[in-house]
Amino acid sequence: MQKVLVTGASVGIGRETAVLFAKQGAQVVINYNSSEAEAGETLRMVEAAGGKGYLAKADVSDDSAASALIHEAVRLMDGLNVLVNNAGITRFIPFDDLDAVTSDDWDILYKTNVESIFFCCREAAKVMPEGSCIINLASISGILPRGSSIPYSVSKAAIIHLTKCLANVFSPKIRVNSVSPGVIQNTRWNAGNANFNLEKYQSGTNAIPMKRLGNPSDIASAILYLASDQASYITGVNLPVEGGMSVK
């Protein structure tokens, strides 16, 4: 049985990932920071899907909190063999408005998006058994110069390289890969995004060869694959799941 910790699992991709693992009979720790009500709904969905779920509040951008979360997950499930680092934030700043980017923007995005992954991975590697895996959520914004802001785009690029570094360090005991979602509908991030043109993406003619927006389930399915035995020889890989945007 898989014993899974999903950070930032209260909504969106994190929630869909938790539920999909639950459908496979997994135990799932649902991490959240501030969205307690939404996390509770994810827990109900996990249990309805046939999995065993647990809630765990923690701000994973804090080193000590991230460490405590890993050990809490191990305590709740009596082990941990899949870690999905999904927690992240953004700031919505047009790319060409460089003067609007502050030091605080850089600090908070790197701390939450990049350092949190490092903290969780470092502690998880101490307790995960051989054959375990880690999947980090990056973004098409880490490959292409687009997205909600330049600091966000750069932080996602850093996740891709951090994934490769950790795959090298943790091999052969633990596999580490990342997934880079494209434009995903039904997420709260798109609301108010200064760089998100819904009509452009819905048309599919300019940006997405597959002619549709992505869904959280598209990303969750890729995560499930990377955590499966079918991906047992894959590590250090970034998997774009973006309908062909990076080749357009």
- Whether 30 shows a pLDDT value over 90: the answer reads yes
| C-alpha distances in Å from residue 247, one per residue of 17, 124, 147, 195, 210 | 26, 35, 16, 20, 11
- pLDDT per residue over 142-184, tens digit each? 999 988 999 999 999 999 999 999 999 999 999 999 999 998 8
List for the chain the helix, strand, coil content (%; round to 5): 50, 15, 35
What domains appear along the chain, each with residue ranges and CATH number? 3-247 (3.40.50.720)
In the chain, the percentage of residues whose pLDDT exceeds 90 is 83
**Which pLDDT score is estimated for 190?**
53
Catalytic residue among 32, 54, 110, 152: 152
- pLDDT per residue over 83-110, tens digit each? 999 999 999 999 999 999 999 999 999 9
Place of tokens 């054959």: 131
What angle do helix axes 36-48 and 12-23 make, rounded to 10 degrees? 20
Query: What does the alpha-carbon distance between residue 216 and residue 224 come to, in Å, rounded to a whole number?
Result: 12
**Which pLDDT score is estimated for 119?**
98
Cα angle 178, 208, 134 (rounded to 5 degrees) comes to 10
- Whether 55 shows a pLDDT value over 60: the answer reads yes
8-state DSSP, 128: P
- Classified as helix, coil or strand, 102 is coil
User: Do 227 and 234 contact (CB within 8 A), yes or no?
Assistant: no
User: Do 117 and 159 contact (CB within 8 A), yes or no?
Assistant: yes
- The rounded mean pLDDT for the chain is 92
Cα angle 24, 133, 58 (rounded to 5 degrees) comes to 85
Query: What does the alpha-carbon distance between residue 20 and residue 30 come to, in Å, rounded to a whole number?
Result: 13
- Whether 195 shows a pLDDT value over 80: the answer reads no
- Write down how long the chain is: 248
**Which pLDDT score is estimated for 12?**
95
Q: Radius of gyration of the chain from Cα atoms?
A: 17
> How confident is the model over 196-207, as a mean pLDDT?
56
Q: Which of 26, 58, 65, 25 is nearest to 39 (CA)?
A: 58
Q: Is 54 a catalytic residue?
A: no
